[in-house]
Structure 1
Amino acid sequence: MERRSFIRTTGLAGVLAAGVAPAVHAQPVIRWRCASSFPKALDTIYGGAEVFAKKVHDMSGGKFQVSVHAGGELMPPFGIVDALQNGTVEMGHTVPYYFFGKDPTFAIGAAIPFGLNSRQMTAWMFEGNGLKLMREFYAQYNIINFAGGNSGAQMAGWFRKEINTVNDYKGLKFRIGGFAGEVIKRLGGVPQNIPGGEIYQALEKGTIDAAEWVGPYDDQKLGFNKVAPFYYYPGWWEGGPQIDFFLNTKAYESLSAEYKAIVEAAATYAHVDMQAKYDARNPVALKQLVAQKVQLKAFPKAVIDAAFKESMALYSELSASNPTWKKVYSDYANFRRDQNLWFRFTEAQFDRYMQSAKL
């Protein structure tokens, strides 16, 4: 069978199942650089880009090569959007909400307080209007995005002192990623947007009073339990944060159809792989942290209620002042409403029972 005819009739899944690469023998050798926002020490989140690079290499028969560079190697961890906009690198691996200062709409592509969980986020992206709307938005930055990972619901981070009331946020210097800092600010806190590789020193030296990252597996690697005693949950600002592959539009459009298919397949694989790793590794790490006398603390309901109220007020204000935010958030909010209705009867009830059962 002629190769291109085979691809048309079987699709990418059929090609991969058959163990052949799509027309790679006719393709040129391509070398791209991927700038990560994460330190190499974090094999889960930084490793997502390495998983992507390996899949691209393997599916292209080694003709499409992507080198991955940790945050700070090619540019500052939060310099990726500027670099892609200028064509300095071909792609990056990052969390969109890091760039909310350019436009709050970036945050919707990752996570916003009291937003979608990881499954709902994937559903909005792949089956709802999420990918379409975010790509329309990113186009003005010369970027096309592909889902590139998710951590699942996160912990709320490490605190030097307990949070018993909303007043305990007053003046609290809190390292918190991206857009959620706007809500912390409204609660009286002082948000600090610090890259992952720099958090430990800031917390150790007392430059900040609290810090959140992802969850037990990463947090243990970063050593936060050595410098702050209270480990809070839940991370109400990150119910399902999506990490993205950002590609320079011109670089992507220069690829052949076969290479574009490989990029999409590799990104989707990395997306699923990342959360599988977090879900498998976080429980073990949490047990280890508790054994080391870490004090797990749940936020009081009154604190979460106050955060919810401020979050909804912020979204209303943005919808009134930012047409792009309003367009994307309106669709997101409608999708979230239906998802919460469905999950209330299924996932939530099942999870609640299983977590109370003595297995």
Structure 2
Amino acid sequence: MQRRQFLTGSAIAATATLAAPSVVRAQTSFSWKMTNAYGPGSPYYVEGPGSPTDFCKKVEALSGGRLKIQHFAAGELIPALEGFDAVQNGIVEMNAANAYFWAGKIPAAQYFTTVPFGMDVKGTNAWMYEGGGIELWHELYEPLGMLAFPMGNTGVQMTGWFRKEINTVEDFSGLKMRIPGLAGKVYAKLGVNVQLLPGGEIFPALERGVIDAAEFVGPYQDRRLGLQKAAKYYYTTGWHEPNNVTELLINKQAWETLPADLQEIVKIAAMACNIESNAWCDATNAAAMQDLVDNFGVIAKALPDDVVAKLREVTAETLEEGAAADPKTRKVHDAYMAFKKQYGDWAGQSAEPLLPVLYKS
């Protein structure tokens, strides 16, 4: 009888001991802050399916409320482009932006937003998730006490709005154009006076002739800014941004305080937003493009082939110069281009012949 009671008591004690960590973990909760480089109410960048605010909701729901993230749009807690410093210094745990904003601090970061004549959204996701891209991103940021994951993608972006036609490469010379990232360096080599303006300042600058051309995102976002009222020539090819990644930047010390299951929830929610935001962009851009052409008299056309060829040539020079100047950029550049070559061979055999068959009108 005593032996039975002892064994029963031991089993209960052992069960309680094994269950204790789970109980403690379930009771542990975290309250984080996320800042954003974009202003309040911005579709995709702040609000809507797959947006940073949607990410925060997903994390809270998936974690059963154990991880709550309070989101602050640009200007609500810190200025638009101070998120990198805020995360690094532990002022906030997270920031949503684009890695090419930090080019002045880390030139190689640009490769984790977009690369002119680089990969499309499918190729970029393949590189990020299965080709070592995220690991390289972490390697780049960890010495600064941070890490990052993709949390959104606009897909291919339009070349931009121009107040006059572009027929030759010489037509770029002397143009004042709003354009960020590596593409700005390419345009500068062709005589463009590159301007860096936040989204809210693009329309008035283009309307008043302060700038002659502007790139923002795509039909839906551009129409929302009213750019179709300031310029009529809307060019494509998407050479400068064949995709555009939203960066989820995380303070590494804060990240390491999260238990493994919450870390996994953050990664899963970010991946879900990456897919969902791109689907939203494709759906809304399709309808907006038709509206711009049908109802606003917008002239949508591709850049001439010889212009694109020159842009490709100058892009290769620009990327090589950047890689030669910085060992970290060289490492990321070479890894990116090696994967692009492999992926491009496959895409050329599979997707390229298929697209005209599927979508030819």
TM-score (norm 1): 0.90
Q: How far apart, in 1, do the equivalents of 2:210 and 2:79 lie?
A: 20
Contact 2:175/2:191 (CA < 8 Å) preserved in 1? yes
Shift of 1:74: 2.1
Aligned with 1:337 (options 341, 344, 347): 341
1:254 partner letter: T
1:292-307 matched pairs, under 5 angstroms: 292-307=296-311
Deviation string, structure 1 residues 296-322 (Cα, Å, up to 9, x no partner): 121111111111111111122222221
Partner of 2:8 in structure 1? none
Question: Structure 1 294/138 Cα, relative in aligned 2: closer, same or farther at 3 Å?
Answer: same
Aligned with 1:322 (options 326, 334, 342): 326
2:71 partner letter: V
Q: How far apart, in 2, do the equivalents of 1:255 and 1:25 lie?
A: 10
Shift of 1:283: 0.6
1:43 partner letter: P
Deviation string, structure 1 residues 31-56 (Cα, Å, up to 9, x no partner): 21111112234322323101100101
Question: Structure 1 35/169 Cα, relative in aligned 2: closer, same or farther at 3 Å?
Answer: same
Partner of 2:34 in structure 1? 34
Deviation string, structure 1 residues 144-179 (Cα, Å, up to 9, x no partner): 101101111111111112111111111211111222
Contact 1:77/1:195 (CA < 8 Å) preserved in 2? no
Q: How far apart, in 1, do the equivalents of 2:28 and 2:245 lie?
A: 32
1:188-227 matched pairs, under 5 angstroms: 188-227=191-230
1:46 partner letter: V
Partner of 2:74 in structure 1? 71
| Range with bigger deviation, 198-207 or 59-68 | 198-207
Contact 1:157/1:233 (CA < 8 Å) preserved in 2? yes
Partner of 1:43 in structure 2? 43
Shift of 1:133: 0.8
1:142 partner letter: G
Contact 1:117/1:239 (CA < 8 Å) preserved in 2? yes
Aligned with 2:317 (options 313, 321, 330): 313
Q: How far apart, in 1, do the equivalents of 2:23 and 2:155 lie?
A: 36
Q: How far apart, in 2, do the equivalents of 1:328 and 1:39 lie?
A: 31
1:1-359 matched pairs, under 5 angstroms: 26-47=26-47, 48-291=51-294, 292-356=296-360, 358=361
Q: How far apart, in 1, do the equivalents of 2:354 and 2:338 lie?
A: 24
Q: How far apart, in 1, do the equivalents of 2:139 and 2:111 lie?
A: 13
SS at structure 1 position matched to 2:165: coil
Q: How far apart, in 2, do the equivalents of 1:261 and 1:27 lie?
A: 18
Shift of 1:203: 2.0
Q: How far apart, in 2, do the equivalents of 1:124 and 1:23 lie?
A: 39
Unmatched 5+ residue regions in structure 1?
Answer: 7-21
2:33 partner letter: R
TM-score (norm 2): 0.89
Shift of 1:200: 2.1
* Count of aligned residue pairs for this structure pair: 339
Deviation string, structure 1 residues 227-271 (Cα, Å, up to 9, x no partner): 111111022111122111001111111212222111111111111
Contact 2:118/2:242 (CA < 8 Å) preserved in 1? yes
Identical positions, percent: 37
Q: CA RMSD in A?
A: 1.9
SS at structure 1 position matched to 2:71: strand
Contact 1:23/1:258 (CA < 8 Å) preserved in 2? no
1:235 partner letter: G
Q: How far apart, in 2, do the equivalents of 1:280 and 1:96 lie?
A: 25
Partner of 2:5 in structure 1? none
Contact 1:39/1:196 (CA < 8 Å) preserved in 2? no
2:70 partner letter: S
Q: How far apart, in 2, do the equivalents of 1:97 and 1:189 lie?
A: 20
Question: Structure 1 354/324 Cα, relative in aligned 2: closer, same or farther at 3 Å?
Answer: same
Contact 1:120/1:336 (CA < 8 Å) preserved in 2? yes
Deviation string, structure 1 residues 269-298 (Cα, Å, up to 9, x no partner): 111110010111111011111112111121
Deviation string, structure 1 residues 321-356 (Cα, Å, up to 9, x no partner): 211111111011011011111111111110022232
Deviation string, structure 1 residues 81-103 (Cα, Å, up to 9, x no partner): 12212222111111111221223
2:321 partner letter: E
